[in-house]
Structure 1
Amino acid sequence: MPSASLPAGVDPRSPVIIGVGQHLQRTDQGADELSPSGLMTESLRLALDDTGAASPDALGRSLGWVAAVPALTWRYHDAAREVVTAIGADRAITATCAMGGHSPNYLLGAAAREIAAGRLDLAAITGGEAGRARAGHRSSGIQPDWGTQGDDVEPDQVVGPTEMEMAHPAEAAHGLFLPTQMYPLFETALRAASGRSVEAHQAYIGALWAGYAAVAAENPHAWDRTAYSVDELITPTPANRWVGWPYTKHLVSNARVDMGASIVVASAEAALAAGVPADRWVFLHAGTDATDRLASERGSFTTSPAMRLAGGRALELAGVAPDELDLVDLYSCFPSAVQLAAAELGIDTDRTLTTWGGLCFAGGPWNNPVSHALAATVDALRERGGDRSGGRALVTANGGIVHKHSFCVLGTAPPERGFRWEAPQAEVDAAEEAVPVDLEPSGAATIEAYTVMHDRENRPERAHAAVRLTAGARAWAFTDDPDSMAELMATEGVGRRVRVDDATLRLD
């Protein structure tokens, strides 16, 4: 199709999102149970229908590249293979990437680069998780008949590194693997830096999260559409127990959901040739990827050089200032992740910070929440688009423990300078030196960040803290002393002088 037939100002190789689909599986309301790859397939069919193309089925068969966000609720060697087989995209390259919540943005950026370079015309990113179904299976002792792939099956392509490092050896040595163990550390550090009291900061993060819940309440694709009040979010109850203090259950990502989401992206000329109406197009303006240091070595628990430099670069490449963004979706596994992103990117937390409701309310399907955020953002941009002078949006993604970051800027108008992407990793690495880690700490120290983990009966179980020793090294220290844990929950512990004896934390 000649480029002259394209809308004015549109480069034929501009990557455009032409279809999005979300599938919410409510087996508790009579829905059939699908496997994760089944959720991927159903959401991709919805995304193909969403394009408005004359023949969505034919469009699906024409896909040249299908990437599956890594699934955690069922084992696949090549989940995308299941999807392309189901829709008849026999010629499609199958792809995936390493685990992490950054995956959807990361894969979308990879597809956009291939399209802009002329190496690809039509692609899809898809993801699905059946966390609620699997929890039910385990409690009932049932093994679902979701099929298995042989060990000889593998994707045609793995984008980027094949694995994501989740924990520093010092963290692994103490069993510090879980996000619920680590993100509260950032929260207590941010609280201390803000100068708020423990009570005032709880109210602050409750208000932040109530904003996400309000958006989810209006989202038909959200798992939990309850418009929670601040008190409902932050008050511990049997149904809202402490997880990793200062977080209650309502303040952490909810992975017990069955959800799938897909995005179809094409070159502008391929979209035109497929008969996709131009009012369905949302342009990819810019993208960036970067990685922070692991928690034990990072310079601070209140900053993220990767968010600041890579996120800022994405906005710079797109030619948009933070206050010029019409829509924002900040990745929201925990309140600390949102506060870090907002501070590093210069985004006012008084504005609406999500397009779909976030991981605690709309749903936290492991690595795939951002696919849902992207779908909701595309829908919202289309509603605003009209004459193509319309909106611009930023979608952020975070994998691991504030570790892997991927940013995407979208708009209803074509980018003035074409799609642009960078990975400013060298700048991120140079922004701060790795903090030395002491694996056998002893002596005087100062608490940098801490949390108190609770059991399922809402009882304090163990506190752990990142501390700085007198010589400057960081170490991990622990206590299960009831009085010490109660004191750390009642008053600010960050900045407190302590003693560490063989990794045991002793309050002075």
Structure 2
Amino acid sequence: MASFDPDAPVLVGVGELTRGPKTEPSELTEPAEMMASVLRLAAEDAGPGERLLRRAGVLAAAPTIAWGDGDPARRVGDLLGLDGVPSMRSSMQGGNGPQLLVNRLAERIQAGELDVALICGAEAVRSITTARKSGIELGWPAPEPERAADEVLEISRAGGSESEAAVAMIAPLMAYPLIENAIREASGRTVAEQQMRIASLWSRFSKVAAGNPYAWTPQRYSASELAEPSAENRRVSFPYTKLLNANIQVDQAAGLILCSAAVATGLGIDRDRWVFVHAGAQATDVWNLSERPSLDRSLAIEACGQALYEHTDAGPDDLRRIDLYSCFPAAVELAADALGLPIDDPSRPLTETGGLTFFGGPGNNYATHGIAAVCRALREGEPGELGLATALGWYATKHALGIYGTAPPAKPFATHSPEVDQTIRLVAEPAEADARAETCTVIYQRDGSPSYGILFALLDDGRRALAQSTDPSTMEAMTTDGFLGSTVRLDAERGFRPSP
């Protein structure tokens, strides 16, 4: 290995745990114990084990949905016997958190302010569901939501606006289909063409998951199985079927150990364990989806990518091991487009885990698994290869990215926060007017029947109008070619109908 900066941040240990659906109720331990377990695994993966854990200067965690404690790392530290180690956490809501934690802690290691950092997270929504259905008490300690970690990297903030809530756009499963259909309209593809494009992408993801021992659903699906609604793959929100959505009904945990190259050397950690963190970046798009000037691109990911490429003197073709955040196909399409990555290259399927549908979508912590998978892939790959992990929160709103490699970086690590244009598109108040349909989705009930449609439309003055419909014929029209770009009539009650 070439010479290296002793302060260079290095990932030396990764650990993962997937507690499958057949796990006995007596084995459904609390999320903090899951986090402690994967950190022990990560320490064993690095080699020194307990000696490495005892060197920790910070214990950081991504918060858990199933156990909403405000300082989860504190409980993990207690279980590991790491009394007095400062705790850190990311936002209570945000899949960008794990990569953001890596970026900030790597920055401190590079500056000589920190020797060893432990990063972890877990999700146990499946345990909660199992307990409720079985009528059992899990016996977990009560979470303390108001408890504060020693350091919190982000404040918590609602994901959307009042105008969005007024048309029942209140969750990712409503927001990402709007982005997806905006991407389709901008590309000029038909509904059928776009459906096959994203189903083929997801089929390639499922192939990766089928070979991942930590995947929740290690099964390969064909594009037609994913695209076509069925009893096992119901419609959820146009154009997405169930198997084009993230699966949060999982029990999974992952942990990372980050230290300086000097510490890794001093502890005798084998060089084949080392993965250098070359550069990081984080940025936020216009917060509310309805206020973004364009729905088919992410200015924040574009800015982060440019910063990473400039820092590392690398480009898209240099990235060989890639895990793009994949809660929905639209998230992958946005990132791939912004970073200059093709989505149909079989040699680079854009996931190392299998994605949030097939690997699993463990709440705020998926990206820890993504980073761990990139790290393993780099260790097993050709010397000097570069890898990329991306993470995002809310509606492709807040982003964190990192470039990794087994060779020492040419420049000292830095994490970048590039400026992103925050110019908003104004959202109009409800009123009678003609407008052009910009994007839409239809939300379906569990039996496959349409529940309501959401429309984003553009007025002649450039403002965006938000509307909803429960009319069956209108909802049917929304799923057909030609609806986007057509004229609709808005009313003062946030309703609409296609113009004759």
- Alpha-carbon distance between aligned partners in 2 of 1:233 and 1:331, rounded to the nearest angstrom: 19
Residues 26-45 of structure 1, C-alpha deviation per residue, up to 9 Å, x if partnerless? 25155821221121111111
Query: Tell me, what secondary structure is at the counterpart of 1:265?
Result: strand
Note if 1:179 corresponds to 2:169. Answer: no
Note if 1:119 corresponds to 2:113. Answer: yes
Note if 1:304 corresponds to 2:298. Answer: yes
- Alpha-carbon distance between aligned partners in 2 of 1:259 and 1:320, rounded to the nearest angstrom: 33
Q: 1:436 to 1:153 in 2, by over 3 A?
A: closer
Residues 252-305 of structure 1, C-alpha deviation per residue, up to 9 Å, x if partnerless? 000000000011000110111122111100000000000001201101111110
Q: 1:210 to 1:150 in 2, by over 3 A?
A: closer
The answer for unaligned runs of 5 or more in structure 2 is: none
Instruction: Choose which of 190, 196, 202 in structure 2 pairs with 1:197.
Output: 190
Query: Tell me, what secondary structure is at the counterpart of 2:108?
Result: helix
- Alpha-carbon distance between aligned partners in 2 of 1:153 and 1:258, rounded to the nearest angstrom: 24
- Alpha-carbon distance between aligned partners in 1 of 2:318 and 2:358, rounded to the nearest angstrom: 27
CA contact (8 A) 1:238 1:458 kept: no
- Alpha-carbon distance between aligned partners in 1 of 2:323 and 2:215, rounded to the nearest angstrom: 15
Residues 131-164 of structure 1, C-alpha deviation per residue, up to 9 Å, x if partnerless? 11111223344442110255774211111x3213
Q: Partner residue of 2:38?
A: 43
Tell me how large the CA RMSD over aligned residues is: 1.5
- Alpha-carbon distance between aligned partners in 1 of 2:371 and 2:122, rounded to the nearest angstrom: 14
Query: Tell me, what secondary structure is at the counterpart of 2:290?
Result: helix
- Alpha-carbon distance between aligned partners in 1 of 2:143 and 2:211, rounded to the nearest angstrom: 39
Q: Partner residue of 1:3?
A: none
The more displaced of 145-154 and 113-122 is 145-154
* Superposition deviation, residue 91 in structure 1: 3.3
Note if 1:282 corresponds to 2:275. Answer: yes
Note if 1:504 corresponds to 2:495. Answer: yes
Residue type of the alignment partner of 2:37: E
Residue type of the alignment partner of 1:47: A
CA contact (8 A) 2:278 2:404 kept: yes
Note if 1:429 corresponds to 2:424. Answer: no
Note if 1:87 corresponds to 2:80. Answer: yes
Instruction: After TM superposition, list the pairs within 5 Å mapping 1:53-64 onto structure 2.
Output: 53=48, 56-64=49-57
Instruction: Choose which of 465, 478, 486 in structure 2 pairs with 1:488.
Output: 478
Residue type of the alignment partner of 1:168: S
Query: Tell me, what secondary structure is at the counterpart of 1:462?
Result: strand
- Alpha-carbon distance between aligned partners in 2 of 1:165 and 1:149, rounded to the nearest angstrom: 21
Query: Tell me, what secondary structure is at the counterpart of 2:22?
Result: helix
CA contact (8 A) 1:75 1:148 kept: no
Instruction: Choose which of 357, 364, 368 in structure 2 pairs with 1:371.
Output: 368
Residue type of the alignment partner of 2:376: D
Note if 1:357 corresponds to 2:350. Answer: no
CA contact (8 A) 2:2 2:408 kept: no
CA contact (8 A) 2:109 2:260 kept: yes
Note if 1:226 corresponds to 2:223. Answer: no
Q: Partner residue of 1:447?
A: 437
Q: Partner residue of 1:75?
A: 68
Instruction: After TM superposition, list the pairs within 5 Å mapping 1:255-404 onto structure 2.
Output: 255-293=248-286, 294-351=288-345, 352-385=349-382, 389-404=383-398
* Superposition deviation, residue 202 in structure 1: 0.9
- Alpha-carbon distance between aligned partners in 2 of 1:40 and 1:29, rounded to the nearest angstrom: 17
TM-score, normalised relative to structure 1? 0.94
How many corresponding residue pairs? 492
Residues 304-338 of structure 1, C-alpha deviation per residue, up to 9 Å, x if partnerless? 10011112211221221101111111111101111
Q: Partner residue of 1:4?
A: none
- Alpha-carbon distance between aligned partners in 2 of 1:96 and 1:89, rounded to the nearest angstrom: 16
- Alpha-carbon distance between aligned partners in 1 of 2:295 and 2:66, rounded to the nearest angstrom: 30
Residues 70-104 of structure 1, C-alpha deviation per residue, up to 9 Å, x if partnerless? 11111212110111111122231111011201011
Residue type of the alignment partner of 2:140: W
Residues 219-270 of structure 1, C-alpha deviation per residue, up to 9 Å, x if partnerless? 1111101100111111111211111110000000000000000110001101
- Alpha-carbon distance between aligned partners in 2 of 1:240 and 1:310, rounded to the nearest angstrom: 35
Q: 1:149 to 1:459 in 2, by over 3 A?
A: closer
- Alpha-carbon distance between aligned partners in 2 of 1:8 and 1:204, rounded to the nearest angstrom: 42
CA contact (8 A) 1:317 1:421 kept: no
